[in-house]
Structures are given as C-alpha cells and as structure tokens.
Amino acid sequence: MIFWWFILLTSVASWALTGFLRRYALAKNLIDIPNERSSHSVPTPRGGGVAVVVSFLAVLPILNTFDLLSTPVFLALWGAGFAVAVTGFLDDHGHIAARWRLLVHFGAAVWGLYWLGGFPPLAAFGYSLNLGWLGYLCAAVYIVWLLNLYNFMDGIDGLAGIEAITVCCSGALMVWLVAPDSTAWMLTAFLATAVLGFLFWNLPPARIFMGDAGSGFLGIMLALLSVQAAWIDPRLFWVWLILLGVFIVDATVTLSRRVLRGEKFYEAHRSHAYQYASRILGAHRPVTLAVAAINVFWLMPAAGLVALDKLDGIVGLMVAYLPLLLLAYRYKAGDRQAQARQAK
C-alpha cells in the first residue's frame, strides 16, 4: 500500500514541479522560438524535463533504504543520470560544445556500466555470447547513442513522454513475466509515473517542452535499465531493444542518411520520419498517439514473445523492426529533398 502512495506522490510532485518550472522559464525567458527547423509554431517555455529528473532521483535513495534497490544499481542510475541532467540543464540555459557534451555522456555511460557490473552475455539462438571488453565498448556506444537519439526524437508535443511511459510500463511487465520475484520492475514504474506528471503539461498543445536535461536523462535511464534487465535475464536486453524500436529505427535511419550525405548529425533539423508525418497530418497529436499504439499493440506483444521464450531475441528484433523500417522510409526519414519540398 505504501508503494502505491509513493507512486502517486512521485507523479504529483512531477506535475507540481513542472508547473513551477514553467513559471521559472517564462521569468528567465527560456523560450523555444520557432524557426525553419522547428516542428512547432508557437514560442514555448522549455526545461520542464527537470521535474522528471528531480522526481525520479528523489525516489532512488528511498528504494535503496527499503532494500528495494541495490546500492550498485542506485549509484549507477543516480550518478549517470545526475551528470547528464546537469549538462543538459546548462545547455538549455546557454550552449555547451558538442565535444564536451559527448565527453560527459561517455563518462556517465562508463560510470553506469561500472556499477552495473559491465555488459552481460548476450543470448542468441540458444547460445550465450560473452563479448568481454568489446562488450563494454559496444555498451558504452549504445548508451550514448540512446541518450542522444532520445534528444533527437523529442521534437513534437508529447512524443518523448508517451514513448517513455509506454516503454517503461511494457518493460515493467516483461521483467515481471521473466522474474516475478524481482523488484526491478519498480524502477520502470517510478520512472513512468515521474514522466506522467510532466506529460500533463506537454500533451498537444504543449505548455512547456522537456529540454535537453529531461530528454538526455530519459535516454540514459532507459539505456541503463535495459542493461540492468539483461543481467536479470539475457532475453530482456532484446526485449528492451524491441520496446524502444520506434525511436531507435527513426533516429538511426535519419542519422545514417544524413551522415552519408556529409551533414553534421548533431545540428538541428526536421527530417525525422515523425516530423515529416506531423507536417503531412498538420498536427502533433495523431503522430504521438500513433507511436503509443505501435508500442502497445505491436512492439509489446513482440517483446512478450521473446520474454516468454517463444521467439529468439534476434528473430523477434528483426520481425518487430521490419514494419518500422518500412514506415521510416514511407515517411522520408532523413530525406533532405522531402524536407525541402515541404518547406516550399
């Protein structure tokens, strides 16, 4: 019963803090002004994601005190999340060069991996593959990529929040299916409720944006939670990759096409598939709801088959991603010509 009260309190605290941050952003003129690369048309305060950061980080020591969260996992999440959030907060208030942001991101990834015990062996086609030091390197790149792609995908109202909530709720269910005695599902449940309080203010039409502090924080939290889940059961790493499929596929296809053209991937643009779709439909809400539907009705069942060992992880990943790849190309992910045509 106390657990559910903490769940409710986390969401309420996030909601109240977001309202305070909105007033703070207006007073400090922390406003996103629309330009030719924006997906919004109305000047909007930013930085509301700090409410998610504070609400979630405040819960972690409480879970640790009641032995619902081990000290290494607590240190991994708190240290990495705090470093990324502070960097994002400073970037929201001014500008930090990309190389320094990446340095902090890799440092946070290494910190998180150290306390989680590194990257666990992968399960594929009935075999267990231990990558050793190569696994550490690949895991660090994966964490930093997920952190940054979450920032890239936070471009229309409600999208990053809906993604976090649906992925976290599905992830909690998958952990419970695989390891019903584990308390790891509580982490994702608390993260979902922290985001829920913020989402009240961010649903279309958004009254405040998440900002780099919030999007980067969510990206690294989801990445580290996926690594932690893989230590519980190797199948769960594939499960998390499937659940995060919409963001991973759109961002990866878009980035790949931009890099192949020689463009700077870290510069602002609006050539993601979700941005193209929102311009076609003339609104953010249908795209955000469509992503929620894909997560719940396509990716969660596919992840469930892997979690229940009805489907191999790699096969499940390929099956889940194929329609997402088709959608990415259907909605011109990374297509500069399509962006130029729509701008006319």
Annotated binding-site residues for Mg(2+) read 151, 212
**Chain centroid offset of residue 41 CA:** 24
Residue 31 DSSP class? E
Copy the structure tokens of residue 286: 């249908």
CB 212 within 8 A of CB 151: yes
**Residue of 286, 298, 288, 287 lying closest to 324 (CA atoms):** 298
State the CB neighbour count (10 A cutoff) for residue 3: 14
Find all residues with CB under 8 Å of 325, minimum gap 6, and list them. 249, 253
DSSP 111-179: HHHHHHTSPPPEEETTEEE--HHHHHHHHHHHHHHHHHHHHHH--STTHHHHHHHHHHHHHHHHHHHH-
Residue 128 has phi, psi (to 5 degrees) of -110, 125
- The residues facing 129 across adjacent strands are 122
Pairing of strands 122-124, 44-45: unpaired
- Report the length, in residues, of the chain: 344
Look at the block and give the residue holding tokens 């593959």.
129
CA–CA gap between residue 293 and residue 280 (Å, rounded): 19
State the CB neighbour count (10 A cutoff) for residue 241: 23
**Which residues sit in the known binding site?**
151, 212
Look at the block and give the residue holding tokens 């955000």.
288
CA–CA gap between residue 214 and residue 88 (Å, rounded): 8
CA–CA gap between residue 161 and residue 319 (Å, rounded): 25
